[in-house]
Structure formats: C-alpha cells, structure tokens
Amino acid sequence: MSASLEPKRTVAELKELRGLTADDNGAQRVAFTKTWEATRAWLRKKLGAIDGLEVHTDAAGNLWATLRGESEQALLIGGHMDSVPNGGWLDGCLNVLAGVEILRRLRAQYGGRPPVTVRVVDWADEEGARFGKSLFGSSACSGTLDMDEARGLKDRDGVGLPAALKEIGVDFERVKECGKELKNAAAYLELHIEQGPVLLDLDLPLGAVLGTFGVERHAITFHGQAAHSGSTPMNRRKDALLAAAKMSPEIYGIAAKHGGVCTIGSCTTKPGIVTSVVEDCRITLDQRHLDAAALARMWQAAQEAGERFAREGGVTVAWERLWHIAPMPFHPELIALCDASIKETCGVSHRLPSGPLHDAAEVARAGVPTVMMFVQSLHGISHNKIEDTREEHLELCVTAFDRLAEKTLQWISARSRAS
C-alpha cells in the first residue's frame, strides 16, 4: 500500500529491544523497574525521530504518541512494553512497535496530517507481574480499576503500588484522570502474539479476534464424613473426594456441549491423610466463554452436576464465587475489516476468541469500537523465553495490521461524515 512501511524494520527493532532488555532467562521489562524505564527511554527516542509527533505520559503512566490529523476523531493503536519476569521478546512490544511503524507510514503518506488523528499508546503495567493485578494502565483509563483494591496491593518486598507509582512520578489517587485520553477515541486496534496454539494447529499466520472470554471462577467444596480407612465398609462411606472426582470428566462434556473451556485447577482434601476417607474436598473450577449466555449455561450445568454427584455420594456441596468477568465481544465491523486485511495479506483468515485478557478488552469496556489481530505463536507458548514467531509471519502481521489501520481510518472518516 505504501513504499514507506518497512515491516523488516519492526523485526529489527524487536531484536534491538531484546538485546537491550533480555538476559539468558528472557525479557526483563517488568513495569516500574529500571529496565522498564530504560525501555521507555528507548521507545521515546524512536518516537522522537518521527517528525511532528506529540509524546506525553498520562496520569496513570501510560505513554501516548499522537499524530494530529484533520479530524480530532482518533484511531488508537495499543500495546505494552512491559513483560513478565523471564518473558518473551514479542508479547506486548510487537503491538507497540508495529504501531510506531504505522505512524511512520501515515506521516509519510499524508504529509504529516492524516484524515483522522492517530495515537499509539504504551499501557503501563499490563502484565501485573509485580503487584499481581494485570491491566493497570488500561483499567485506570477505562475507569474499571478498583481503587480500594489497588491501593492495598503490595509487591514481594512489601512495597505498595501507590509508593511504586510515586517513584515514577505518578500520583495514585489521580490515576483515573487519564480517562480523558479516550475522549475522541473512535476505534482501538491491538496486534498481539496469540499465546495459544490455535493458529499454529491450523497452519495460519494471522487471525481476527472476536473478543475476550468471560470468566466464571468458583471454589466447590464437597463435604462428607471422615472415617477409618480400615473399618469403614465401602457401602457406608460419605466420600467427598469420590463426588468431587466425578466433576473432572464431567467438565469435558460441559465444555464440548457449550463450546467454551473449563478447568479444574486445584484440589485439596481434608483430613488429607492416608488412613481416612476424605471429609472435605475443595476443587476450583474456571470456566470461560465468549458468549455470556453460554457461559451462564456452562456454570449452571456444572452446578447441576455437582448437586447430582453429591446426592449420589450422600455428601453435601457448597459453591463460592472467586471471580467473574463478563465476555467482551469486539466490534463486528472492525472484525470484518480485520478479516479483510488478513485475507489481502496472506489469502486466508480465521476468526478466534482470546482466552487471555488484554488491554483491548478494557478499551472496549469503555465503549470504544475495538478489535485485535493475532499472529501465530510457534510453540503456542508465551510468558516464557521460548516464545517465538517466524520472522516472515512477523513481517506479514505488520503489513496486515497496517492495512487494518488504514481501513479503520477510512471507516472512522466515513462514520463521522455520516453523523
């Protein structure tokens, strides 16, 4: 589309960044650390080399680079430069650096002034590696950040989040003021490495993301009766583990029937000794689906199964909700544009949901039309130094993502003309 887009430059910059911020164990760009600050300084230098960009940090420490256009209506492109400890070389920074390359192309193509304003944002602390709470910068921006919970977060050394933010010049009590950055946001785009094996298994480089899964997370406790393992006949037992264990194959059937995913991730027993029938068995169930009604049906089905197994085993069952978040479907017209951009670039596209949460879900929750594009992950693995994507796929994703940015820019223009 334009001679000035250079996907190879993005790959070279990713390698440059890896050289600066990774060690033998992987990327070390944990938010609010020295390495992260060095990463930001490196990014600012890249942005500074592009004429006419306005760069600033908002009230929550998110970094914005703005190329003013004919209209104040803004196309947003987001990512995060922070990583988990021992992370990969692509998660988060690929998104930002692809955005930077798109800014270069737009500036050249439109003589410094595209039809709409275009902004690249580097969200602060997407990973939540230090304080155990992800999507800090984007949830402050969308307004969903729970201030009371965040105020009490501490890292392993007992340093609180407000104190860590103060170190980088951010006043915790004012972080939500960054919500004003979304004032003229007309669309939000995010490119990301898939973090799963779906595109790999289909042998496809790119996919259009339908939205992020909703999550129902519960602890389920079956309660029976402790009894001696030698003297209690099999027909007289109230075995909490027997009922809980039946849940394990059951959830595979539930996921298959409703099309989501279910995981029993932990199981603890009491008294937990070799000579006693299990009195209490606590398991955790994590269920995810892109459709809120289907997610509710999966949870309902799990509850019914739990009641049935408890009845059969003469034990009781109790449920405790640990966490819940609603699914966040992306914008249907932007999904179609994403699909078209991928097809124009490599012939075939695939639509898939995102299991992990992303900053994009927060922006979508704030009411901004949003879509994400995924690029294939070689091992289906991220948050690990083995995270990787073939270089030709990285170049394809920058090209396809740039096409999506151009289509979205035209889409914003057409919409504002129509209204």
Instruction: Name the maximum alpha-carbon separation found in the chain.
Output: 86
Q: Which of 13, 82, 91, 239 binds Zn ion (CB under 5 A)?
A: 91
Six token digits for residue 400: 């396809």
Q: Which is nearer to Zn ion, 87 or 369 (CB)?
A: 87
181 in contact with Zn ion (CB under 5 A): no
Q: Which is nearer to Zn ion, 123 or 411 (CB)?
A: 123
Q: Which is nearer to Zn ion, 98 or 254 (CB)?
A: 98
Range 266-305, binding Zn ion (CB under 5 A): none
Residue 92 C-beta: closest distance to Zn ion, Å: 4
The per-residue b/e assignment along 68-82, b for 16 or more CB within 10 angstroms, e otherwise, is bbebebbbbbbbbbb
92 in contact with Zn ion (CB under 5 A): yes
313 in Cβ contact with 243 (< 8 Å): yes
Q: Which is nearer to Zn ion, 91 or 362 (CB)?
A: 91
**CA dist., res. 73 & res. 117, Å (int):** 6
Residue 359 C-beta: closest distance to Zn ion, Å: 8
Q: Which is nearer to Zn ion, 376 or 413 (CB)?
A: 376
Residue 127 C-beta: closest distance to Zn ion, Å: 7
Six token digits for residue 350: 């695939």
The per-residue b/e assignment along 112-134, b for 16 or more CB within 10 angstroms, e otherwise, is eebbbbbbbbbbbbbbbbbbebb
Residue 18 C-beta: closest distance to Zn ion, Å: 16
Q: Which stretch binds Zn ion (CB under 5 A): 92-100, 117-125, 272-280, 401-409?
A: 92-100
Q: Which stretch binds Zn ion (CB under 5 A): 88-96, 206-214, 269-277, 278-286?
A: 88-96
**CA dist., res. 82 & res. 150, Å (int):** 18
Q: Which is nearer to Zn ion, 99 or 306 (CB)?
A: 99
**CA dist., res. 238 & res. 277, Å (int):** 8
The CA angle 371-372-376, to the nearest 5 degrees, is 155
Residue 17 C-beta: closest distance to Zn ion, Å: 14
Q: Which residue is nearest to Zn ion (CB)?
A: 92
Residue 98 C-beta: closest distance to Zn ion, Å: 13
149 burial level (CB within 10 Å; 0-12, 13-18, 19+)? exposed
282: enclosing H helix or E strand: strand 280-289
Q: Which is nearer to Zn ion, 107 or 383 (CB)?
A: 383
Give the footprint of Zn ion on this chain (CB under 5 A).
91-92
